[in-house]
Structure 1
Amino acid sequence: MEWIMANWKTATVKEIVWWNKRLFSLIVQAQIEPFKAGQFTKLALVNEGNRIARAYSFVNPPSHADLEFYLINVEDGLLSPPLGQLKAGDQLQIASQASGFFTLDEVPAAEQLWLLATGTAIGPFLSILQNEEVWDKFKTIHLVHGVRKKEDLSYRDLINQLMERHSQLKYVSLLSQEKNLDGLNGRITTALEQKSLEQYFAVQATPNNSQFMICGNPAMVKESCQILLNQGFRRNRRSEPGQITVEQYW
């Protein structure tokens, strides 16, 4: 995520949803400028005159009035722990203008769209999947979510609802630290290299039929990108369209 120069607005907490001891969603209400699905903004708290700010992607689609963000409660973090302690009615600051290019208008149309995310980086994909544009642009969409344990698989109800409404959406989880009875085991990078994802969905991904959007920690993004490059895919650039679009998320 690249930093943005912020014009700060006041946001009011509507709800905080704790998924487990580490993961929570912060839902706020604020008057901000329109944004695109897949973009991010900055949230901030002021402590003793010092503004502490971090970038977070929207989970909600642009059409929703409530603004939702998916966070990990970082131990000894400067912002996530106090954000997690907020209550309904409390206030924080939000940048009025969103930023980022991890959006569908940067991705060429294709038969298949692969959305690869680790941890809280599934957030921008949920925003994209709740927007109608994606369903007209791709015939099949594969959502892949890699986490450590089953308890980290948040938003399953929302994903199931999206799958019920859109038969073209396919989903698989990967667990790296415990047995997965409903998906795959291991890491996304390994599954990508060994083509386990293609085997799971019974499809073949080629540069002629697929687009990849990858969102996660920098190491995962770098390794996944290199694996796809080795398989003949290319980075997607405005001057030279390819098949790989990435967002580093931490």
Structure 2
Amino acid sequence: MTELKYTRQTVTHVHTWVPDKLFSIHTTRDPAFKFQAGQFARVGLPEGDDPAAEPTVWRAYSMVSAPDEDRLEFYSIVVPEGQFSPRLARLQPGDAIYVDKTAFGFLTIERFPQGGDLWLLATGTGLSAYLSILRDPGTWRAFRRIVLVHGVRSVSELAYRDEIESWRAHPDFAEHFQADPRKLIYLPIATREAIPGMPQARLTTLIQNGELEQLAGMKLDPEQSKIMLCGNPEMLSEARKLLGERGFAPGRRGIPGNLAVENYW
């Protein structure tokens, strides 16, 4: 008998951020499933409506949960005409969901030498991997400061904002803020709504005109800064070009880089 490459898990909670658009789903976790913060899993569902059928439709989702949590958490947008996300959004606690036994992806802090500053730049649901990375205590010890930038269209799409802003007082992170009140700099950016103190602009515009550095109060320095990019292909292509002109590049042939990129589309 061929051993299955996936496990059957159970949905435990579904949270709606924006009705019919953005949601998070929590599931049980197979104790044997291991991953590094920033990696993704293949999540599966049966093609039809029979909950007992074998999973045949698979999509990649970054883990939002930290590697040491006993559950898995995924954050998703609903693609109305999609074959997968609308059905995923309709799942209820107790429903079955399938997870590949192997984690994938290289958007992890292991890509970089420790030290210096970590910049996490995301649009939309590209935030997912960064939440896992930031929920991992090792990240906070590995870098001097962390800048988290989340670009969205409207304020309602700033998922996890309350959690991120609560970390300053959280027992797991408070010591870092006591040592440096600017340990984590969180910049929520909405292009179609005003946020006090924040510009209404695309993330790439803020990189190009220098305003991102002004908002963070820090320089994008290739010698000190490590940058992760996660989001839609258009943003990634433009941001890579802008950052490449400033000396940022992925690692190659055993040479550590200062840029890591993952398409989240």
TM-score bin (small chain):
over 0.9
Following TM superposition, where does structure 1 have runs of at least 4 consecutive aligned residues deviating by more than 3 angstroms?
none
Give 1:238 deviation, angstroms: 5.0
How many Å apart are 1:180 and its aligned residue? 2.1
1:10 corresponds to which residue? 8
SS in 2 for 1:38: coil
Q: 1:238 to 1:110 in 2, by over 3 A?
A: farther
Higher Cα radius of gyration = 2
- How far does residue 215 in structure 1 lie from its aligned partner after superposition? 0.6
Conservation of the 8 A alpha-carbon contact between 1:10 and 1:30? no
Uncovered stretches (5+) of structure 1, i.e. residues with no partner: 1-5
For 2:232 and 2:186, the matched residues in 1 are separated by: 20
Contact residue 251 and residue 257 of structure 2 kept, 8 A: yes
Contact kept, 8 Å, 2:111 with 2:257, in 1: the verdict is no
Contact conserved, 1:52 with 1:79, CA < 8 A, in 2? yes
Structure 2 distance, partners of 1:27, 1:234, is: 35
Name the aligned partner's letter for residue 147 of structure 2. H
Written as runs of structure 1 = structure 2, the 5 A alignment for 1:56-205 is 56-164=61-169, 165=173, 166-167=176-177, 168-205=183-220
Q: Residue type of the partner of 1:8?
A: Y
Q: Which residue of 1 aligns with 2:235?
A: 220
CA contact (8 A) 1:141 1:169 kept: yes
Choose between structure 1 and 2: higher strand proportion.
1
Matched residue pairs, number?
245
Cα 1:144–1:238 change in 2 (3 A) is farther
1:236 and 1:221 mapped to 2: Cα distance?
Answer: 17
Q: CA deviation at 1:209?
A: 1.2
What root-mean-square deviation, in Å, do the aligned CA atoms of Structure 1 and Structure 2 show? Answer: 1.5
The unaligned stretches of length 5 or more in structure 2 are 178-182
Contact 1:13 1:86 in 2 (8 A): yes
SS in 1 for 2:249: coil
Q: Which residue of 2 aligns with 1:25?
A: 24
- The amino acid across from 1:126 in the alignment is L
Question: Per-residue CA shift, 1:11-44, capped at 9, x if unaligned?
Answer: 1000000001210001000314211000000111
User: 1:182 Cα shift?
Assistant: 4.7
User: What TM-score, normalized to structure 1?
Assistant: 0.93
TM-score of the two chains, using structure 2 as the length reference:
0.88
Q: CA deviation at 1:109?
A: 2.1
CA distance in 1, matches of 2:44, 2:61: 10
Q: Percent identity?
A: 38
Matched residue type, 1:192? I
Q: Greater shift after overlay, 171-180 or 135-144? A: 171-180
